[in-house]
Structure 1
């Protein structure tokens, strides 16, 4: 068959290889050891102790598909490890065969292949809005099938994929790199820079690691949403520049770390800086209220005489529950509703509420607080804020989002309800 459009098929001869990789030689050794070979092609010369190609020879003797892949062990995500790891220019580099040189290894070679996984950052500083307590950022990686390539068709024939990395954990062969999880190391930029792949990546403080809950190959596995930028890190200002350094965590008990490949367009590190922006409060509409979840349950709204004063029974002086329909309609950023505080305007008392489910059980899902642009949610808050003892008593409540008022309503005690 020969070669065409960057691909080689059997029977393979030196003319095919020479023309495809752009080497100026017909020597088998020169061709098999050429620096012009595309390392991301599944089929290429690799180290294998046989004069002839055999099934899965392309995985090599070490199962790394002809590549040099560094790994750490047992959660040793120290500063020195990360710096030395990413300062290694040979990581994910092509390892040419040292024993048998087989021209037939080029059968199926594709010169058009691209990395099996790449980050989506181009290396510039990313400013992330800090909205009334919102501290979250998403890091993502692409598989070859996700690449647009500026509208041009990609030829992914025999492209290495994550599924091809059947590299086993030496401590427990049941775990392979292909079953890994996207992870990020959080570290501050100070000094001692990383020099390879992204000049100027530096830090010399304790770092922290965030690991996705889904495998790379599972739905949601290519995106890691980080909402906690403090745990595991020393005290710092949220507006300090921070590096998110990407990798794959895998192996028994997720003990192994492998970095993400990089090139001039897709780097392995995200440099971010949280930036204070004007707070845009959510829209809040009261749906129901409750005085005691076990005795009365949710009550409908009853207006006194206007649409700005709500009737409630006199004598209520314990915990209150308020159910709102909350909308993010005034911001182009996600809003973190955990920033909401309730204020008793009469007394000036301000409290942080507890988020509860509609059946009055306490919710432990912090994700319920995050409201994306254009999104609406029904949320229930448990508060201990106000009392209306006698008929005619009034109290005005406010919901505060940062320094903005998101909602205001007055309540008046009635003798019957």
Structure 2
């Protein structure tokens, strides 16, 4: 490399944009190149299934920075630019078309891609996935009064789209292979709250159901389930999970395993290459294991952590996984991490019942051996710090009194005193 150091960031989403911002804020005066495959400048993804679909978030608000910010901060933002390879021997990235860019340090924030539905008819018009601004625009056009929308997959994206569609007056049917929405993430007790919430707003569920075929002449008109049920559909949105976009890393010989494997400093198996955001399977020092987190807060905080690590600072990325969702009148935040079958009970603080689709105020705690491993607050605000303190203590081995944990009259902060 030349005398002026060059840091290249591949992936112009929230993690990449925040990493570039942090490099400048921390005083890095070398060359910063931010490469994005999409034509848009970096934007945040939560509004795609929330405020943009509802019409409550103005489009300019989704962007991470104003249009002129990158030039003003001497960051070379190149949109519509696809990276096709990494040549580690000479420390260069290869662009579509053959151009090569050298790097002293490289950060991969390539994110993830929607898992595709592999059934006949999946390529019909009107079958959509939600990952980009353009995707959100297409779906928003379909959320009209009396339209029939079928959502395949009852995860966070599917449920948020279902909620937005119902609020626009569309008829919504959700198809899910599990027995409840969000069952794998939340477990049966809390998953039932979301099932009741959506049923109270007129959503029809088909649980334990697979998709055999999407039917239509050019454009989708129905969804055939594996049990023979046929559902009318003016549009179909598929939300069956995402896959880490790790092809570049894998082809370059970096260690990959459900993402790009990094240490707690977000360094990959090549000391000059880092990874952050959805694509990083990072070692978490508190949890004592590698985890890959697919949520907004991980991109928001992971990008800056990687930037500081690239600058040689002694960074240890140990933030707890955190995510939020807004569906109808239920707003929630979740902090923590629970392995599959990793808790022995869920403790509720407040009544989680959803009478006639009206969300209540409550908290839920996932507990193992009286240790709080994760917590969720629903329509209860300004408690994230206290919940995260309980979760950190729980993962550190500290138990709490479960009766007091369930008692709304006991301040959360008193449970560790």
User: In terms of Rg, which structure is larger?
Assistant: 1
TM-score when scaled to structure 2?
Answer: 0.23
TM-score when scaled to structure 1?
Answer: 0.23
